[in-house]
Amino acid sequence: MTEEQLNQAQLKLAEQWLDITVTNFIENMRKLRIKNTGALMASFKKQVIGSASGRLQLQLSYALYGKFVDMGVGRGMGAGVRRGDDGYERIRNTRGQLKRRQRKAKPWYPKAIGYQTKRLAELMSELHGTLLISAVSDALPAQDVTLNF
């Protein structure tokens, strides 16, 4: 396997991994019922960046809102809404507490990214192991080798 073939194989593997990872994230969100407007699910952007030295960089981004959902934090109001504004009494009581249910963390991110990162490392190791085996088999002589101890 040549250097160019290895780079192409790595690029293809990275793109497939990103597709599967985003699919798993969206599946987790559906399972946890995180689909208020669907904006978080639609915000995923993925990109594979290659460099001249042959190293790949993967970029996966999503809306910042996803972190707040994951941790179960946030104000629960739109930006700029202050005490005394029209929307404030609709969302909070006079003591500033939310009128609706208490926020609850919905961990859609940590376990999935941990597993997916480990899986990517395994896949890349397997790809490089295959390359190593093919290089060694190409370097071996065509005849039988006998070893005397």
- The mean pLDDT of 3-29, rounded to a whole number, is 88
* Between 139 and 27, residue with greater pLDDT: 27
Question: Residue 17: inside a domain, yes or no?
Answer: yes
**DSSP characters over 42-90:** HT-EEEEEE-TTS-EEEEEE--THHHHHHHT---SS-TT--TTSHHHHH
C-alpha angle with apex 82: 76 to 87, nearest 5 degrees?
Answer: 65
Question: Residue 140: inside a domain, yes or no?
Answer: no
d(CA 36, CA 39): 8
Domain count, the chain: 1
In the structure, what pLDDT confidence band is assigned to residue 7 with cuts at 50, 70 and 90? confident
Question: Residue 123: inside a domain, yes or no?
Answer: yes
* Between 19 and 127, residue with greater pLDDT: 19
Question: Residue 145: inside a domain, yes or no?
Answer: no
Query: In this predicted structure, what is the pLDDT of residue 54?
Result: 66
pLDDT at 4 over 80: no
Question: Residue 147: inside a domain, yes or no?
Answer: no
Question: Residue 113: inside a domain, yes or no?
Answer: yes
- Expressed as residue numbers, the domain containing 114 is 3-132
In the structure, what pLDDT confidence band is assigned to residue 25 with cuts at 50, 70 and 90? very high
Q: How confident is the prediction for the chain on average, in pLDDT?
A: 80
Q: Which helix (H) or strand (E) holds 124?
A: helix 110-139
Query: In this predicted structure, what is the pLDDT of residue 75?
Result: 60
Burial (0-12, 13-18, 19+ Cβ within 10 Å), 4: exposed
Burial (0-12, 13-18, 19+ Cβ within 10 Å), 91: middle
Question: Residue 148: inside a domain, yes or no?
Answer: no
Question: Residue 142: inside a domain, yes or no?
Answer: no
Q: Over the stretch 64-111, which tens digit does the pLDDT of each residue have?
A: 888 888 888 766 666 666 777 776 777 777 777 776 666 778 888 888
